[in-house]
Amino acid sequence: MRGFFQQIRKSMVRKSNFRKYVFYAIGEILLVVIGILIALQINNWNEKQKNKKEELITLKNLKVELSQNLEQLNFKIEGVKSVINGDSLLIQNMNTDVFEKTQDSLGQMLHWISSPITYDPSDGVINDIINSGKINLISNDELRLSITSWDRNLNEAKEIEKFLEQLSFDQLRPYLLDKASNRNAYSNQIGESPFSWKPSEVMKDKVFENLLVRSTEFFTILKSRYDYLKLEILKMLSIIDEVIED
């Protein structure tokens, strides 16, 4: 095609038909431009298809990770609820002799409420999406925002976990080591303790009550953080399913 135009152009020049020569020259340029535009469109289409394929692979991997994290989170939420209920039961029975004849049950409960709870989700896929630049492959704006906000939301829960861990190891556990017997909580494995202790020394102590109130307060905050993380995971899973189905 280009050789054909060159022959016409030379013929036009020889015949001094300048106006027609200009028209043919413009036509040749337009054909070249159109060819370039078509090539660019094809290249863009291929690039979009490639990105879409990579996005779907990334989202499927993210779905697996989020599903596993959701399963762990549900377990942790139940654990937090159990601690809150245990704290509440003890607070309601402060300054009473309800547990005086059930030392073992109280010991087990004290061991449970003094055990820290942490949520440790897998983050390999999310970190890879953010650090490798794959975040730009995510076509859904809401999902992209949730992914980039995940680490911040998780850290908010981690801050509460850290406080509760300090409360447990620095105050609650040292208190219980002095006042109660932890051995009976493991009596099936190591036998019962030969030392006696009085639940009333714990249940009628204002210091212990204050520790329980503090624990309940922050475990309640932790539950709200976990609940929010759960909502975020469910939202991301829902969006991922919609994108994959499309």
Question: Mean pLDDT across the chain, nearest whole number?
Answer: 86
Residue 226 pLDDT: 98
Whether 58 shows a pLDDT value over 80: the answer reads yes
pLDDT above 90: percentage of residues in the chain: 57
b/e for 118-157, b at 16 or more Cβ within 10 A? Answer: ebebeeebbebbeeeebbebbebeebbebbeebeeebeeb
Whether 4 shows a pLDDT value over 60: the answer reads no
pLDDT band at 112 (very low <50, low <70, confident <90, very high): confident
pLDDT tens digits, one per residue of 176-194: 888 877 666 555 566 677 7
3-state secondary structure the chain: CHHHHHHHHHHHHHCCCHHHHHHHHHHHHHHHHHHHHHHHHHHHHHHHHHHHHHHHHHHHHHHHHHHHHHHHHHHHHHHHHHHHHHHHHHHHCCCCCCCCCCHHHHHHHHHHHCCCCCCCCCCHHHHHHHHCCHHHHCCCHHHHHHHHHHHHHHHHHHHHHHHHHHHHHHHHHHHHHHHCCCHHHHHHHHCCCCCCCCHHHHHCCHHHHHHHHHHHHHHHHHHHHHHHHHHHHHHHHHHHHHHHHC
Provide the whole-model pTM: 0.80
Whether 70 shows a pLDDT value over 80: the answer reads yes
pLDDT band at 28 (very low <50, low <70, confident <90, very high): confident
Query: What's the average model confidence in pLDDT over 24-41?
Result: 75
Tell me how far apart the alpha carbons of residues 87 and 109 are, in angstroms, rounded to a whole number.
9
Residues in the chain, overall count: 246
40: its two tokens: 């660019």
Whether 124 shows a pLDDT value over 70: the answer reads yes
